[in-house]
Amino acid sequence: MINLHHLRIFYNVARHRSHTRAARRLCISQPAVTNQLKAFEEKLGLKLLVKKQKSILLTEEGKVLYQYAQKLFDLENEIEQVAGDLKGLKIGTVRLGVLRMYSPTFMHVLINQFHKIYPNIMVKVDEAGSLDLIQSLLDYKNEVVICLKAEENSSILFKPFCQEDLVIHIATLRNRTVSAPAQCLLNVLQDLAPCEKPFGSVANLIRALKGEGFGETARL
């Protein structure tokens, strides 16, 4: 396996054509450069550099290895640049989950506002129901979701975003009376609201109704 520290020493000696300048660049002593470069050549079984008068030249093998080393350390510089950009929020991607019913309403405004502040960060939007969106957080598919709050979960941080009125609709036409089951359902709903803990989803509300004796045929 290639010793990257030795490869870096070889690369700098070959680039600067000097053990002394390479040592200065790497902040190590000149004898350390000479000894580790010798160990590197012995490990590879190749002669990479030769001295000619006061100059250092690459052998044919050294020229080939130098080209690969240059690509590697150029890529290292790019990685450092990208890491700095990510840390500085200059580039990146965020995965956002949102309820289908909300998406057409405000996503366009939200993303436009976000891009005014962070123009180079891409927003990937995933539309689903509340329970699926919450599960997507636990499965690392989304990083942020906007949905109805369902059940408490210690692994998720819930932050209030907006409040909407959930109202009961029932037909009151002149020639139409409310059926007894519908009236019972209305009574239970009225007893349940207002509540300290919002149900957060129709599924949770249905479960609450079942606890009051309604079967699976109950629909909202």
The model's pLDDT over 154-184, given as tens digits with 9 standing for 90+, comes to 888 887 776 665 555 555 555 555 556 555 6
Chain mean pLDDT for the chain? 78
Q: What is the pLDDT of residues 63-119, one digit of tens each?
A: 999 999 999 999 999 999 888 888 887 888 888 888 877 656 677 778 888 888 888
Q: What share of the chain is helix, strand, coil (3-state, %, to 5)?
A: 50, 10, 35
pLDDT of residue 218: 37
pLDDT of residue 122: 87
Count CB neighbours of 216 within 10 A. 8
DSSP for 43-103, written as a single string: HHT---EEEETTEEEE-HHHHHHHHHHHHHHHHHHHHHHHHHHHHTTSSEEEEEEEETTTH
Supply angle C-alpha 94, 95, 100, rounded to 5.
135
Average the pLDDT over 31-55 and give the result: 92
Residue 185 to residue 178: CA distance in whole angstroms: 11
Split into its structural domains, the chain has a count of 3
- Is there a single domain that holds both residue 11 and residue 66? yes
pLDDT of residue 1: 83
Q: Is the pLDDT of residue 45 over 60?
A: yes
- For residue 187, the enclosing domain spans 165-220
- Is there a single domain that holds both residue 102 and residue 79? no
Q: Count CA atoms closer than 13 A to 142's CA, side-chain side.
A: 23
Residue 54 to residue 116: CA distance in whole angstroms: 57
The pTM (predicted TM-score) of the whole model is: 0.53
- Is there a single domain that holds both residue 130 and residue 194? no
Grouping H, G, I as helix, E, B as strand and the rest as coil, residue 22 is helix
* Position 152 in a domain: no
- Is there a single domain that holds both residue 82 and residue 101? no
- Is there a single domain that holds both residue 83 and residue 26? yes
DSSP classification of residue 163 = -
CATH of the domain at 135: 3.40.190.10
pLDDT of residue 90: 80
